Structure 1
Amino acid sequence: MKLWKTALRFLPLSLVVLFLAGCMGETNLTALDPQGPQAEWLFDNMLLSLYVMAFVSIVVFAIFFIILARFRRKPGDDELPKQVHGNTALEITWTVIPIILLTILAVPTITGTFMLADVEPDPEVEEETVTITVTGHQFWWQFDYEDGFTAGNDVYIPVGEKVIFELHASDVMHSFWVPALGGKVDTIPGITNHLWLEASEPGVYKGKCAELCGASHALMDFKVIALERDDYDAWVEGMMEADAEPDTDDILVQQGYELFGADGLGCIGCHAVGGSGTAAGPTLTNFGDRTTIANFLENNDENLEEWIRNPKALKQGNDMPEFPDVTDEEMEALIAYLRSLSVRELDE
């Protein structure tokens, strides 16, 4: 009876966990729907471990209940049951079985560990292997491409190709994790770690910082956007050719550009666009293509204005200064300029 009461006590918690797992699946932030070879290996190895543990649990509980039923004390039992201490056959059995089970787990684990650690370029791919330098900041991600440009928070990769990430941190320890594509690897100040990922299908794969890194750790999200090779090459070309000065006669956009520059609000001092400015904050070269602001807010005009006026109220601990005195006319122009920063049409 006590066993059933304990099970019923934990039933609500189990239902909550199941519900949350379903929610995570809808947002692509789950390791239970692998979309790449690395994630598939991790998922398969996890299932293998569960099968082994289930087998052991079933056998142990079966023996336990058989012993309870068969050898329970009965009225009139005055003698101890037959003792099997020193039974060689039994001792060999319960020693060999765990060794076999551990071997079943060890072989794929060891081979898979070497596979996950292999960050050398894939010789079978005709195109040059994409290598991206990742730097974790409080609380955003910087992606530097070998082609000579920088992206912020959204990282683009080609589909079906091994992409190598060099992981760094600028301030505190972070952890780079894209559950649908692979395991997590820490980014540590002063140390370079490596990771490779591959997306089997085009799509948007959500990532998280998996290491407590400060007040807004929970909001340190990013996206991996996997494109077919031709689309990826077109995006790279767009990022390389992008310029901070708008290619339009729209007066409002031009006014926003002037406000964004050094003679205006000085945004260019922290947010690079194309080859202009510095990357003290997230690069905004393709801001118009992004679906979120600061990794977590829906990218709409209302949220963008609120973010510019008081970013610390929305994301505690970030380093962006406040601009509460920007007039409505200036804000409209600034938003129009930021909306014009686009290098491709992104269908999500």
Structure 2
Amino acid sequence: MQKILYYTVYGLLYAFSLLPLRLLYLFGDGIYFLIFHVVHYRRRVVWKNLTESFPEKKEQGLRRIEKGFYHWFCDYLVESIKLFSISEEEIKRRMVFKETELVDECVSSGQSCAIYLGHYCNWEWVTSLPFWISPKAQCGQIYHPLENACMDKMFLAIRQRFNAVCIPMADSIRRVMGYRQKGIPTVIGYISDQKPFWFNIHHWCDFLHHDTPVLSGTERIARKLDQAVFYLEVSRTRRGYYEAEFKLITREPKQYAENEITDKYFQMLEHSICEHPECWLWTHDRWKRTREEFNDRFYVKNGKVFEYDVPLSKRK
């Protein structure tokens, strides 16, 4: 049954993706009207995030960002569908990578690269990176498998169309080390602005006026395997067109203090968001987990997070 569902949905989305983007954007405009004006999809979460992240902005400015976000979000949806059939020529015209020679220099010397990204602009189109860098490197991205097997298989299909591999988060270090043992340099993208699970919280930083629990696994992998670390600064030049520029953070991650690279990434991401705040994914309840609740329910021992049997606040 799952196989029938997969091929049915895949076939429908593939057929839909054959439409020119200008027509897909008309469909996206319809989705915008539905989710913004009718369904009010996550508008409370979006508004809460915006007001807390930009306390200096007036309501009029925040409303403009809010509407711009929902327009961009609907564009992102139809652009992701376009990945089912978009040609190499078109994706290279619409997603342009800059400063790739910095990555090729690392690859030529045998050094692998860790690429920091955010849920900003169109991260799905970043999977076209293999068209832009040395074929000596294995490109890939770390991802969190979806609970729905059909949807997970579908996302894997479009994300791996251009020969970039998808590596499950739980298997990341083993897979990356496997390529290293084979002598294959890797260029792996890490979308590291996600909300970590409680037991994965090892560091907090100031991000968009919030005390924010952050994922630090990217830095740990880069330090362990001595990888070059980049931030991919993506910008939308106009509707349906993006530029992604590689910003070198370091080729010697072990020279940095613990969590310093992670903090640098969030500083760079915050700068990108402040430039075009409508292009970040505001629908996620990013700051749901607070330091107060963490300290109340959990403790850290030998670098691992454990949960109290009874929260401190409930003890007599």
TM interval, shorter chain, is: under 0.3
Higher relative contact order (CA 8 A, sep 6+): 2
Q: Which has the higher helix share?
A: 2
Q: TM-score, normalised by structure 1?
A: 0.26
Q: TM-score, normalised by structure 2?
A: 0.27
Structure possessing the higher radius of gyration over alpha carbons:
1
